[in-house]
Structure 1
Amino acid sequence: MSYAIIGLGKIGRALAKAFARRGIEVSVATTRDPASFASDAAAIGPTIIPTTLAQAVKADVIFLAVRFESHPDVAKALADWKGKTIVDAMNTQATPEELGGLPSSVVVAQAFSGARVVKGFNHLVAAVLDQDPAVNGGRRVVFLASDDDGAAAEMGALVEKLGFAPIQLGALSEGGRLVHARGKTWGHLIFKDLVKFG
């Protein structure tokens, strides 16, 4: 299984750090030339590989850590996203009306035609996501929502591998609503920093 993170802002860096902490290789890409952020990637860890967007989208699992407004541009990188898992780690300032009343991840799923979309990692602020997930003998919780049970289970296994505790919330239209932040409408679980014990 190959992994990539699109975006190297605060959330993208925190995700990369989570991979580096466990020695798992992950490609990172932005719209810039990889040479321009190679030193940033190297500072995170040796398993963080700077690459182009065209190379990054070849990964099996792709984390979206860009501004929500930029996701349609990323979606244009491939004509068909079949066989790919997209992890939506984004939040948006768009209002529910601007999104047609849909959860933001449903909008993302429409843009990435054919992909299996999982909402995850967006409910933690970057400064918290950046920390070691081991907390006082417990593990920091990562909520996951998806319309594809297989993708949700695979992402749950990766979350465990990264040292977090996955909690499945169900479909994007149900569980996804609990962890989205859009405009002034926040889901009940957004920005909740919870730790699971046992």
Structure 2
Amino acid sequence: MSYTIVGFGEIGQALARAFARKNIDVIVTSRRAPEALAPRARAIGPTVVAKSLRDALAADIIILAVPFAAHREVAKALPDWKGKTVIDAMNTLVPLEELDGLLSSVFVAKAFAGAKLVKGFNHLIAATLATDPVVEGGHRVVFLSSDDEEATAPVTALAKQLGFAPVELGKLNDGGALVHALGSTWGQLIFQDLYKKEP
């Protein structure tokens, strides 16, 4: 399985650190040229490699860590997203009418036609996401939700590889609503830093 993080701001770099900590190869990309990202990528770790958006999107799993308004530009970079799993790690406080009354991830899924979309890695602030998730005798929780049951399995496996404790919330409109903003209000699980103790 190959991985790309699209967006190299605070969240993108925090996720890159999580991959580097476990020596897992990951590609990072953004609107900036890969040469501009390369020094920071190298500083994070040798498994973090900057590439152009076009090359980066060859990966199996794509993590969206761009500002919400930029996701449509990313979606246009491939004519067909079939076979890709897209992890929506974005957050936005946008009036529901601007999202056609949909949760943001449901709205995002429409742009990535053919992809399997999973909401995940979005409820923690970057500084927390960047730290070692093995704490307090357990693992930091990440919440996952998707309307495609098959899509969640590889993301659950990735979260475990990275040292997190994945908790599946079910479909986006059900449990997944707990990690979305609804209009101008954050979902109940946003910014909750929780741990799952070892059995």
Q: If the TM-score is normalised by the length of the shorter chain, which range does it land in?
A: over 0.9
Q: Deviations 1:63-106 (Å, cap 9, x if unpaired)?
A: 00000000000000001100000000000121122112211000
Please give the residue correspondences for 1:141-156 in structure 2 after superposition, counting only pairs within 5 Å: 141-156=141-156
Map of 2:189 onto structure 1: 189
1:53 Cα deviation from its structure 2 partner: 0.3
Map of 1:175 onto structure 2: 175
For structure 2, the residue ranges without an aligned partner over 5 or more in a row are none
Q: Is the 8 A contact 2:160 2:166 kept in 1?
A: yes
Please give the residue correspondences for 1:1-198 in structure 2 after superposition, counting only pairs within 5 Å: 1-181=1-181, 183-198=183-198
Number of residue pairs the alignment of both structures matches:
198
Q: Take 1:69 and 1:84, find their aligned partners in 2: how far apart are those partners?
A: 21
Q: Is the 8 A contact 2:124 2:193 kept in 1?
A: yes
Q: Take 1:131 and 1:168, find their aligned partners in 2: how far apart are those partners?
A: 22
Q: Is the 8 A contact 1:5 1:28 kept in 2?
A: yes
Q: TM-score, normalised by structure 1?
A: 0.98
1:188 Cα deviation from its structure 2 partner: 1.0
Other structure's SS at 1:144 match: strand
Query: Percent of aligned positions with the same letter in both sequences?
Result: 60
Other structure's SS at 1:102 match: coil
C-alpha RMSD of the superposition: 0.9
Q: Is the 8 A contact 2:134 2:163 kept in 1?
A: yes
Detail structure 1 runs of 4+ shifted over 6 Å in the superposition: none
Q: What amino acid sits opposite 2:165 in the alignment?
A: A
Other structure's SS at 1:171 match: coil
Q: Is the 8 A contact 1:2 1:26 kept in 2?
A: yes
Q: Take 2:136 and 2:159, find their aligned partners in 1: how far apart are those partners?
A: 18
Other structure's SS at 2:31 match: coil
For structure 1, the residue ranges without an aligned partner over 5 or more in a row are none
Q: Take 2:195 and 2:101, find their aligned partners in 1: how far apart are those partners?
A: 31
Q: What amino acid sits opposite 1:83 in the alignment?
A: G
